[in-house]
Amino acid sequence: MADPTYTIPEAAALAATVLDQVERAVVGKRDKLALVLAGVLAGGHVLLEDMPGLGKTLAARSLAQALGLDFKRAQFTPDLLPADLTGGYVYDQTTSEFVFRQGPVFAGLLLADEINRTPPKTQAALLEAMQERQVTVEGRTFPLPNPFHVLATANPIEHEGTYPLPEAQLDRFLLRLSLGYPSFDEEWEVLRRRIERQREEQSVDRVLDPAGLRGVQRAVEQVHVAESVGRYAIELVTATRRHGSVLVGASPRGSLALLTCSRAMALLAGRAFVVPEDVKNLAHAALDHRITLKPELWMSDATASAVVTDVVNKAPVPDAAKAVPA
């Protein structure tokens, strides 16, 4: 059966309904949830760096439920092996043959929990699956489901017993962001809903299925990008390479991430074209983790976020009126 075809207004309405459903579980984080959804609609993977207890797992599970994707969670630990993630061959006594048993990576949406707590070999196995959309075991290649997306979490504060992702591997994530602490009223709303629900578990309604998500992702590809907006995105990325505090700036993959996610954000806003504000709103999520600062600045207040803020403030913004297709 062929995947459905959606117009941009139809896809935008479905995406807004997905956000509405996820927001039933995750209170007061619609802007951040929209960024996560934009990463998925753009066909990529998202890294959530945040303190424990801020709803990362809940957001991932709720998003999977609303998108109609098979959800699996892999708790990354120091003794986790690549085969624990990808799966491997086991001996079937009934047939006297070795059969392949799939690991948790065979999912529509995989939550890679605390990815920085597992050794580099296992991290590399996941990142290979993210990039190639397949795993190879004992010389045989197994395709992963389509769609396949990873939401990975990491604790940015704790360093003991962790294995930070190298910059080259961080680059594989389309976006990196944090949900942050709720406001006073938002935190009370979390408690109020828990009291009213009378149980710990919560669920959201399914809006899409895998075929429907693929249809919305194809609608994102129809969003128009004016040359001036595309050049503006490139200007931001190349400015990170020229910045005085930067050792290695964002690569062309950063330009692609910035523009593909901007198209998804435009669709979420119900527009058929990208405006410069879409690019600016995504600059930190798309570029911060792609910047390596000069090592001599480690004792200063310099951060990748400050570099991106600086280049966004200095880059001339194109006329938004010219972003509208003729």
Summarize the confidence of residues 266-294 as an average pLDDT: 95
Mean pLDDT of the region 262-272 = 96
Cβ–Cβ under 8 Å, residues 117 and 160: no
pTM exceeds 0.85, yes or no: yes
For range 288-304, the mean pLDDT: 87
The pLDDT of residue 265:
97
b/e 143-173 (16+ beta carbons within 10 angstroms → b): ebbebbbbbbbbbeeeeeebbebeeebbbbb
Query: Over the chain, what HEC string results?
Result: CCCCCCCHHHHHHHHHHHHHHHHHHCCCCHHHHHHHHHHHHCCCCEEEECCCCCCHHHHHHHHHHHHCCCEEEEECCCCCCHHHHHEEEEEECCCCEEEEEECCCCCCEEEEECHHHCCHHHHHHHHHHHHHCEEEECCEEEECCCCCEEEEEECCCCCCCCCCCCHHHHCCCCEEECCCCCCHHHHHHHHHHHHHHCCCCCCCCCCCCHHHHHHHHHHHCCCECCHHHHHHHHHHHHHHHHCCCEEECCCHHHHHHHHHHHHHHHHHCCCCECCHHHHHHHHHHHHHHHCEECHHHCCCCCCHHHHHHHHHHHCCCCCHHHHCCC
User: Greater confidence, 88 or 279?
Assistant: 279
- Tell me the pLDDT tens digit for each residue of 299-326: 788 899 999 999 999 999 998 888 888 7
d(CA 83, CA 66): 29
Average pLDDT over residues 203-221: 95
Q: Using pLDDT thresholds of 50, 70 and 90, give the confidence band for residue 1.
A: low
**The pLDDT value given to residue 200:** 81
Residue in the structure block whose two tokens are 């948790």: 104
Tell whether the model's pLDDT for residue 194 goes beyond 90. Answer: no
Other Cβ atoms closer than 10 A to 244: 9
| pLDDT the model gives residue 325 | 83
Cα dist from 101 to 76, 89, 105, 117, 134, whole Å: 19, 6, 11, 24, 15
Looking at the predicted structure, is the pLDDT value of residue 9 above 90? yes
- Give one word for 161, left, alpha or beta, with left for phi > 0 and alpha for psi -120 to 50: left
Chain-wide mean pLDDT for the chain?
91
What pLDDT is recorded for position 158? 66
Give the pLDDT score at 55. 85
Find residue 87's DSSP bridge partners: 102
Alpha carbons within 13 A on the beta-carbon side of 167: 15
Helices 227-242 and 252-268 sit at what angle, rounded to 10 degrees? 140
Segment 213-239 shows an average pLDDT of 96
**Token pair recorded at residue 172:** 């594989």
pLDDT at 320: 83
How does pLDDT run across 87-138, given as a tens digit for each residue?
988 888 888 888 889 999 999 999 999 998 888 888 888 888 898 999 988 8
What pLDDT does 258 receive?
Answer: 95
User: To the nearest whole percent, how much of the chain has pLDDT over 90?
Assistant: 62
The answer to whether residues 206 and 68 touch, using CB atoms and an 8 Å cutoff, is yes
pLDDT tens sequence across 127-174? 888 989 999 888 889 999 999 999 999 887 766 667 888 777 788 899
**pLDDT tens for residues 44-78?**
999 999 888 888 889 999 999 999 999 999 999 89
